[in-house]
Amino acid sequence: MNFRACARLNRDTKSSHENNGIIGTVNLAELPAGTTINGRYELRTALGVGASGAVYTATDRHLGRQVAVKILSPSDHAPGTPWQEAHLLAELESRFLLPVINADVVLESDLRYIVTPVMAGGDLEGLAAAGGISIGTAVGYIEQAAAGLDRIHRAGMVHRDVKPGNILVDTGQIVLADLGLCSLLDVNGAAPANGSFCTVAPEVLRSENAYCSTLSDVYSLAATACYLISGEYPVDHRLERSAQRDRIARGEIRQLRDLAPHASGAVERVVRKSLSLDPFRRHADPTAFSNALVVAIRDSRDWRRVFHDGHARCYEGENWGARKGVVVCAVTDALGLYNMQVTHTATGRQVRGFRPIAVPPQNLEIELRTVISKLS
């Protein structure tokens, strides 16, 4: 569970507790390798930190296997709810939600921890950081995440922090994690506002009457889809937080095809619908959104961004039926123009009907979209 680029609205991971010999002010994100919890779980590598705690890989000395240990932030230990996330993980059993192995209290402290499997592929934020992943793969992951999210919604709750960093992957299978911020919906279908700037819905950021709903989760899932396809969030996470907040609240988000010219107009329309400022103009639920994405990519070539030395932008289209794989690349010349070439992936030969052309910088996105659309 990584939180490199996608910061939560509020985060506090420091506390004063005794932890197996570590006394005083403890930063849960900086426990040294070798720290052992209850004589059983030997911490190895920090995986990440979020509002609800810090996560480490660890060795289970009793069973001789690798696990993930999440040490919960003391701020989560409200009376009556110390095990909320563990209970939710156990009760909301789904192949698309992270399973719980164990939950306990660190001896001689009030720090609590949850043990889950290690997802060897990391999280989707890291996986898609370099320009996104293939559109087909992204849609497959969104389908799985939607199934897990629907399971939460059927239980009368909302996740409130759907984002790439909270979706873990292992050999093509993903699970939705970090259920510590799940909240029950009231009779009006609303829950207290919460989330992360990169994927938070506009209604969550209101100065008055802010709230989360199932449609807020749908927005966050669509923002996640945008990131998986392009490697960028709808609002640039590098902006100052105040600027991000203002743009999200006003619905001033970037167009998917400006970020990912290899995405089709159909895919952009589906994502844009669930990123609507008005919650009731979004897809009705996560599965409706993911189904619409599946339809949008049907009968079309799968594309992904690739990186070639010396090339400014490159996109690769997979084999599609009888059509061979192709690569579209733009290379900057001495005059500052982009020389665009279309070649066969396997041979490097020019694709018939697509001669190299020189494109001025201001027309690059349009030309990329045009050429890729013709090849799709």
Q: Return the pLDDT at 9.
A: 66
3-state secondary structure of 190: coil
Q: Return the pLDDT at 103.
A: 83
The DSSP bridge partners found for residue 25 are 16
d(CA 20, CA 32): 12
**Total-model pTM:** 0.86
Position 24 confidence tier, pLDDT thresholds 50, 70, 90: very low
d(CA 97, CA 173): 11
DSSP assignment string, 25-61 = EEEGGGPPTT-EETTTEEEEEEEEEETTEEEEEEEET
Same domain, 369 and 223: no
Q: Return the pLDDT at 58.
A: 95
| Averaged pLDDT for residues 324-349 | 95
Same domain, 221 and 184: yes
Same domain, 286 and 140: yes
Q: Could you tell me the two tokens for 309?
A: 């030395």
- Count helices and strands in the chain by DSSP H and E runs: 9, 17
Which of 64, 99, 116 is the last residue in one of the domains?
116
CA angle 314, 320, 326 (to 5 degrees): 25
Q: Return the pLDDT at 15.
A: 37
Same domain, 181 and 280: yes
CATH, residue 164: 1.10.510.10
CB 246 within 8 A of CB 197: no
Which of 95, 116, 137 is the last residue in one of the domains?
116
Q: Return the pLDDT at 2.
A: 33
Position 180 confidence tier, pLDDT thresholds 50, 70, 90: confident
Q: Does residue 5 sit within a domain?
A: no
d(CA 85, CA 166): 14
Same domain, 135 and 237: yes
Instruction: State how many domains the chain has.
Output: 3
Residue 21 has pLDDT above 60, yes or no: no
Q: Return the pLDDT at 19.
A: 37
DSSP for residue 191: B
CATH, residue 30: 3.30.200.20
Residue with token string 């699970």: 175
Residue 3 has pLDDT above 70, yes or no: no
Q: Does residue 62 sit within a domain?
A: yes
Same domain, 182 and 261: yes
Residue 125 has pLDDT above 80, yes or no: yes
Q: Which range of residues forms the domain containing residue 68?
A: 14-116
Q: Return the pLDDT at 111.
A: 82
Q: Does residue 1 sit within a domain?
A: no
Q: Return the pLDDT at 181.
A: 80
CB half-sphere exposure, 208, CA atoms < 13 A:
0
Q: Return the pLDDT at 78.
A: 44
Residue 49 has pLDDT above 50, yes or no: yes
Mark out the alpha helices in the chain (DSSP H runs). Answer: 84-91, 124-127, 135-154, 214-230, 241-250, 256-259, 265-274, 286-297, 364-375
Q: Does residue 362 sit within a domain?
A: yes
Residue with token string 């999440």: 70
pLDDT digits (tens, 9 = 90+) for 227-279: 999 999 999 999 999 999 999 999 999 999 999 999 999 999 999 999 999 99
Position 81 confidence tier, pLDDT thresholds 50, 70, 90: low
Contacts of 112 (CB under 8 A, 6+ apart): 71, 72, 77, 82, 83, 103, 104, 105, 106
Same domain, 177 and 260: yes
Which of 267, 297, 327 is the last residue in one of the domains?
297
Q: Which of 308, 172, 293, 283 is nearest to 229 (CA)?
A: 293
Residue 154 has pLDDT above 80, yes or no: yes
Same domain, 323 and 177: no
